[in-house]
Amino acid sequence: MLRFLARRLAQSVLVILGVTLVTFLISFAVPADPARMIAGRSASAAEVASVRHQLGLDRPLPVQYLRYLGHLVRGDLGRSYVQRIDVSTVVESRLPATLELMAGAIFFELLLGLPAGAFSAARRGTRADKGTMVLSFIGVSAPQFVVGLLLLYVFGYLLDLFPLGGYGGLANLFLPALTLGIAGGGWYARQSRSSMVDALRQDYVRTARAKGAGEWRVVLLHAGRNAVLPVIAMIGLDIGNFMQGVVVVEAVYGWPGIGQLAWQAIQQLDIPVIMGVTIVAAVAIVLGNLLADIITGALDPRIRVR
């Protein structure tokens, strides 16, 4: 197990290093001139050049990249061109909101996905099964900004049950978490259905049935217990999915997390912030995958050997 962990960790570091290199190179392909942004539109070419020198942007690319890595190791993500504040300060102040949103989303996707999957598996082949799977497919594939605006309009504006966006208590959290949870829930429904169908084929289920256990008892207790563990391990992978989802959902609901930060930074071409958020997201995804590996490895020793 330790060797397995060490190997995974080493791979993770390589992945993150790769992400820094790619984001760094992309930031040079983006048609934004930070020096011009800082110097203002009326600045002369000489003034822009002097700002460029001050930022170190006139040095060779490899030198700039190494300098960037050096700062990164010390936890320095650079300074925002637009906000003129340390990127780490901005990211830090926004991370709690995103974590809160993710927790809410995990709650909803499990709440929606697991029962739907179990129900479908128990009713395999029936219209109810097909109906549930079609619904889950819609949930997975519906664009989140549409789902978000729709929920907001119906439950927030027309029915007046929830606040129209913004950050605060559980009432504010409900709709954005649900929007993220609907997509994840559809995914979970499909996964838990197949893992449940698998479990229902096992010998111990036949044994339970033979003992005369009721159908729901068989599905929920005997098969469910075994089917749910691999599904839980997916939560780690979810973090990656969320990182895409939060950008859209946070923008729609005015949720002050790092997704909204990324959205704004992209619109303003604030490269240090875009890079900072990308790296934080990459680290989160890598950690999530690591977590998933550890859980599955712990559950199934066969995986560790591979």
Partner 1 sequence: MNEDMTKRPIRRRGLLGTAASASFLAAAGRLPGFGVGRAEAAAAERGGQVLVTFQSDVATLDPAIGYDWQNWSMIKSLFNGLMGYKPGTTELIPDLAESFTVSADGKVYTFKLRSGVKFHNGRTLTAEDVRYSIARTIDPATESPGQTFFSAIEGYDQASAGKGPLTGVRAVDPMTVEVRLADLDAAILHKLALNFAFAVPKEAVVQYGKDFGKHPVGTGAFFLKEWALGQHIIFTRNADYFTPGQPLLDGITFQLGQDPTVALLRFQRGEVDLLGDGIPPAQFVSVMNNPRWRKDVVVGTQLETSYITLNTRVKPLDDVRVRQAVNMAIDKERIVRIINNRAVVANQPLPPAMPGYDPNYKGYPYDPAGAKKLLAEAGVGSGFPTALYCMNVDPNPRIAQAIQQDLANIGIKADVRSLAQATVIAAGGTEGEAAMVWSGGMGWIDDFPDPSDFYYPILGCGGAVKGGWNWSWYCNPKMETMAKAADALVKPSEAAQRIDMWRKIFVDLMGDAPWVPVFNEKRYTVHQPSVKAPDESIFIDPINIPVNYNMIYKTNA
131 is a contact residue toward partner 1 (CB under 8 A): no
Of 64, 70, 91, whose CA–CA distance to 79 is shortest? 91
Distance CA(232)–CA(209), nearest Å, equals 26
Q: Which helix (H) or strand (E) holds 250?
A: helix 234-253
Question: Nearer Cβ to partner 1, position 242 or 253?
Answer: 253
> Mask: binding to partner 1, 82-121, rule CB under 8 A, as x and -?
xxxx---xx--xx--x------------------------
256 interacts with partner 1 by CB under 8 A: yes
Is residue 32 a contact point for partner 1 (CB under 8 A)? Answer: yes
The span from the CA of 238 to the CA of 105, in Å, is 10
In this structure, are residues 118 and 224 in contact, taking their beta carbons and an 8 Å threshold?
yes
The angle that helices 61-73 and 2-29 make with each other, rounded to 10 degrees, is: 130
Residue 231 Cα to chain centre, angstroms:
17
Among the listed ranges 135-143, 189-197, 236-244, 251-259, the one in contact with partner 1 (CB under 8 A) is: 251-259
Nearer to partner 1, 164 or 290 (CB): 164
Residue 25 Cβ vs partner 1, minimum distance, rounded to whole Å: 17
Residues 162-191 that bind partner 1 (CB under 8 A): 164-169
> How far is the C-alpha of 177 from the C-alpha of 103, rounded, in Å?
8
CB of 115 to partner 1, least distance (A): 31
48 contributes a contact to partner 1 by CB under 8 A: yes
- 51: contact with partner 1 by CB under 8 A: yes
Measured distance CA(210)–CA(86) in Å, rounded: 65
- The CB-of-104 to partner 1 minimum distance in angstroms stands at 16
288 is an interface residue for partner 1 by CB under 8 A: no
Structure tokens belonging to residue 60: 């060779």
Between residues 110 and 273, which has the closer beta carbon with respect to partner 1? 273
Is residue 260 a contact residue for partner 1 (CB under 8 A)?
A: yes
Binding of residue 159 to partner 1 (CB under 8 A) = no
Q: Is 31 in the site for partner 1 (CB under 8 A)?
A: yes
Provide the β-strand partners of residue 86: 79
Could you tell me if 146 and 247 are in contact, meaning their C-beta atoms sit under 8 angstroms apart? no
Q: Is 64 in the site for partner 1 (CB under 8 A)?
A: no
Amino acid in the structure at residue 266: I
Are 246 and 295 spatial neighbours (Cβ–Cβ below 8 Å)?
no
Cβ atoms 185, 109 nearer than 8 A:
yes
Q: How far is the CB of 147 from partner 1 (least distance, A)?
A: 14
Between CA 207 and CA 209 the distance in angstroms is: 5
Binding site for partner 1 (CB under 8 A): 31-33, 36-45, 47-48, 50-51, 54, 79, 82-85, 89-90, 93-94, 97, 149, 152-153, 156-157, 160, 164-169, 250-256, 260-261, 264, 267-269
